Chain A
Amino acid sequence: MQPIISITNLCKQYGEKTVLNNINLEVYPGQVIGYIGPNGAGKSTTVKVLTGVIQDYTGQVQVAGKDLRENLMDIKRMIGYVPELAELYDLLTPREYLHFTGTLYGMEANLIEERMVKMLDSFGLSDNIDQRMDSFSKGMRQKVLLASGLLHNPSIVILDEPLSGLDANAVILVKELLQRLKQEGKTIFYCSHMMDVVEKVSDTIVLIDKGTILANGTFDQLRGDSGQSLEQIFSKLTMADNLIERAGSLASAMTNNNTLEQL
């Protein structure tokens, strides 16, 4: 089977700093990839390359057999993206915002309307469809963004911390949605810090740190015979196994008095 995403020797630098260092990765259709790593590991940069937001990288990225640089628009059409800490134009209503984003993907107004109503209804936002989003909670905005990422029925869905701000019921809904999307043959690129969710939903887990892939395999492969949880594997591989010691020194750092007057 041909990989749907193939990344070869991907490097990206910001000035002197190397953010991605020789990333090699293959993702197959219908797979759910859990892309994990500590803060600043290069997860979001990888995602920005894949979504075409960053274009000045070195190496090769192919999606569905096409080179990303040469077929940027075709590839963007295949991808649905829900960014981390995403902002949206919250002076608009969900209906207006989704019409705007859908139109950018070249969708017909009727189709946008039909899908949007269904999606927002499923997210429990049907009553808020014509309200301005500036009064929405973080979770409500996140639901609109999820709808925006899925609206054009992409074959690859890239989710960067999609559960951020969602309530418990919405989290269950999204997890179920991921399974349904997978069943439909969609490829899901899932970036998260929530190890328990990644562990449950991912077929393959890719662990990245300091711009380099440290591990790539199924959860069982990563665990081997150790019986450890994904969280423990993560700590071990990112060399943060002295966390207990660090927590101790963190707590002891606060033993002195706080204010200038108290000193």
Chain B
Amino acid sequence: MNKILLYLIMLPKGLWKRLGADVTQLKAILSVKLKMDDRKPLTMGRPQNNAKKKKSNYASTLTFIIGLFVGIMYIFPLIMFESEPYMGLFSFFTMLTVMLTFGLISDFSNVLIDTRDKLIIFPKPVNDKTIFLSRALHIFIYFFRSVFPMSVIPWIMWGVLHGWKGALWFPVPMLLLTFICLFLVMGCYMLLLRLSKPEKFKDIISYFQIVFSIILFTTFYFMPRLSESNIFEQFDIRTVEWIKYTPTYWLAACWYWVEPSAAKLQGTGWLSILAIFTPFIMLWVTVKFFAPSFIRKISAIDGVEVEAPKKNAKKVKSSKLYLTLGSVFNRTAASKAGFSLAWLQTARSRSFKLKVYPGFAYVFVYFFYIFLSGNVPFNEVLERMADSKSHLLLLYMTSFVLLNTVTNINITEQYKASWIYYSSPMEKPGYVMGGAFKAMWVKYYLPFVIVVSAFVLYVWGIGAVIDIILATTNVTVYVLVLMYFGNRHLPFSMPEQMKTKAGMAIIKVIAAMLFMGCMGAAHYFLYFMWLKILLTLLSVAMLWTLWDSYINTSWKQLKMAEDAA
């Protein structure tokens, strides 16, 4: 697959050359990058295992299947606006653009601003444009691989609705859309890189990513809901003529080539030309204006001088919160060490913050998305909520935060630093793992649950206390089960992998959330207080047993878990 994509990507050699890249170098860099992505990094004490190849193929197939399913979500506007294809396409492309941009920002940013090449490629006679394009195309290859399965079902659907002409036409705007999304995100990043101080760039990017993810996510969920009933019922594209200024409408306007008569917005057929030219203009602008200073800027990101020492550096700061909490929540030295490490690293790791922080907002966004309606006042919404048992939904949705934090503490770029665990006299690695789990529970989950509980108690009253306790223990048990069986690793000891992560991570999260939903549903049908109390006690007992087993994880069990990963 990689070879075919590489071949296809190198077909417009002339274009890459005109943009200032050295084609031979470009191909060499891309080929090496793709090869490296296919090879799994070896973690501490684990030899190479050829048997993994099959598993990797299996993961690719599964990723493809998941992609197909994700594609189903996007076909609704196409069906809903069957008689109004331009509007259907506009909605479809807009939804897809939002989600793809979101994916690009969260998954591929690190590839663009990766500084690990600094000593390998940068000292070689490779120009900025070649390096920049190699990164852009590298991202494009992976991006295309995730977009393709997603577009298969909408493609078929469009073919069914609009015949063979529709089927033939569909891939063209899809490809243009992929390019637009890619260069939109890259353009923004390059602009930021140009405007900001290099040493601050990574921090700015992280916060930009977090804020942007939240805004996109919120917009995606609320916009259709807020405008749904009235607008869509009597919808007429002519009432929102402004949409013709958006690139996604330009893509939709490409339908003009097939069915010009269906266009309700008169005289917009020419916009399809913009759809074709926009990606090229964006590519040209990014390469011509931003790429020239690329290597210098990227080099400067990590070339930070040692800061001036602080004057009171020698003073012992013993009253730190994490140390106090570490001592309160842990008995063994190893678990205290795990607690401190997880606490400190998560406060400073940009990639961790990026993956975890938006999740806090998502929980509330999802929740209100379900209940908010365009024409119902907020007070009424709260009253309606209080009459239902929807607090359970919110309480069980907090599992997303816990799951997100505990699964991400295992992953780091510095996974090789985990040698320290293996050479130190730790009887059982489980203690460190347990300490790290507790740190995440105390640092992220507990405050979040407190905030959620305050809201729940405000709306549903004191009677919801038992639900809060039962849901919290259930969530903790459940996440611990997931960690126990599927993610038993030492904190910050696993490498991040670009290729396998997307597919398998989505599958895991979907499966986990589905099961969590079932637990919430079971909780919903508990009508008797005594039963809730009984189940809370049972849940606590289960947590106790499971915890004991988790923290007693032996080196042998850990190795088995790592081999299975």
Contact = CB atoms under 8 A, between A and B. Distances in A.
Contact of B45 (A54, A75, A100): A54
Contacts of A262: none
A130 B313 contact: yes
B340 interface: yes
Interface stretch (A88-96, A188-196, A235-243): A88-96
Interface in A70-92: 72-77, 79, 81, 83, 86-92
Contacts of B313: 126-131
A137 B306 contact: yes
Given A100-B340, A126-B314, A73 B427 contact: yes
A194 to B, nearest CB: 22
A52 interface: yes
Question: Which of B47, B423, B427, B492 has the most C-beta atoms of chain A within 10 angstroms of its own C-beta?
Answer: B423
Given A77-B425, A86-B419, A103 B337 contact: yes
Contacts of A100: 337, 340-341, 420
Nearest to B347: A91
Interface string B424-460: 1111000010000000000000000000000000000
Contacts of A135: 304-307
A53 B423 contact: yes
B321 to A, nearest CB: 13
A53 B424 contact: no
A104 interface: yes
A118 to B, nearest CB: 11
Interface string A49-60: 001111100000
Interface string A122-144: 00001111111011110010000
Interface in B22-67: 24, 44-45, 47-48
B419 A104 contact: no
A53 B419 contact: yes
Nearest to A130: B313
Given A79-B423, A88-B414, 9 more contacts: A15-B48, A51-B423, A73-B425, A96-B340, A103-B336, A103-B340, A107-B333, A130-B313, A135-B305
A106 B425 contact: yes
B307 to A, nearest CB: 6
Given A96-B340, A100-B337, A104-B337, A83 B348 contact: no
A244 interface: no
A148 B424 CA distance: 11
A99 B340 contact: yes
A103 B421 CA distance: 11
B423 A81 contact: yes
B309 A53 contact: no
B246 interface: no
Nearest to B348: A91
Contacts of A140: 306
Given A76-B425, A105-B425, A91 B349 contact: yes
A87 B314 contact: no
Interface in A98-114: 99-101, 103-107, 109, 113
Interface in B287-312: 304-307, 309-310
B564 interface: no
Contacts of A103: 333-334, 336-337, 340
A104 B421 CA distance: 8
B419 A92 contact: no
A257 B559 CA distance: 50
A132 B347 CA distance: 12
A83 B417 CA distance: 10
A175 B377 CA distance: 76
A10 B223 CA distance: 68
A127 B309 contact: yes
Interface string B492-530: 100000000000000000000000000000000000000
B306 A131 contact: yes
A83 B555 CA distance: 21
B340 A87 contact: no
B240 interface: no
A61 to B, nearest CB: 15
A10 to B, nearest CB: 17
Given A15-B47, A87-B417, A76 B423 contact: yes
A83 B422 CA distance: 12
Contacts of B531: none
Question: Which of A87, A117, A136 has the most C-beta atoms of chain B within 10 angstroms of its own C-beta?
Answer: A87
> Which A-B residue pairs are the 5 nearest by beta carbons?
A127-B309, A76-B425, A103-B337, A104-B424, A87-B417
B341 to A, nearest CB: 5
Interface string B324-348: 0000000001101100110011001
Given A15-B47, A53-B422, A104 B334 contact: yes
Contacts of B118: none
Nearest to A86: B419
A18 to B, nearest CB: 13
A48 B422 CA distance: 9
A207 to B, nearest CB: 25
Interface residues of A, number: 50
Given A100-B341, A104-B333, A132 B425 contact: no
Question: Which of A103, A107, A128, A131 has the most C-beta atoms of chain B within 10 angstroms of its own C-beta?
Answer: A103
B299 to A, nearest CB: 15
Interface in A24-46: none
Contacts of A74: 425
B316 interface: yes
Contacts of A99: 340
Given A87-B414, A131-B309, A131-B310, A104 B420 contact: yes
Contacts of B17: none
A53 B416 contact: no
A99 B333 CA distance: 11
Contacts of A87: 414, 416-417, 419
Question: Which of B317, B416, B420, B492 has the most C-beta atoms of chain A within 10 angstroms of its own C-beta?
Answer: B420
26 contacts: A51-B423, A53-B423, A54-B45, A73-B427, A76-B423, A83-B419, A87-B414, A88-B414, A89-B341, A89-B345, A89-B417, A91-B349, A96-B344, A101-B420, A103-B334, A103-B337, A104-B333, A104-B334, A104-B420, A104-B424, A106-B333, A126-B314, A127-B310, A131-B306, A131-B307, A148-B420
Nearest to A76: B425
Nearest to A90: B414
Given A14-B47, A137-B306, A105 B424 contact: yes
A195 to B, nearest CB: 26
A51 B316 CA distance: 32
B489 to A, nearest CB: 15
A134 B301 CA distance: 12
A137 B340 CA distance: 24
A253 interface: no
A75 B316 CA distance: 32
Contacts of A251: none
Contacts of B345: 89, 91-92
Contacts of A15: 47-48
B245 to A, nearest CB: 44
Contacts of A137: 306
A260 interface: yes
A107 B492 CA distance: 22
Question: Which of B306, B307, B414 has the most C-beta atoms of chain A within 10 angstroms of its own C-beta?
Answer: B306
Nearest to A114: B316
A141 to B, nearest CB: 11
A52 B420 CA distance: 11
A154 to B, nearest CB: 10
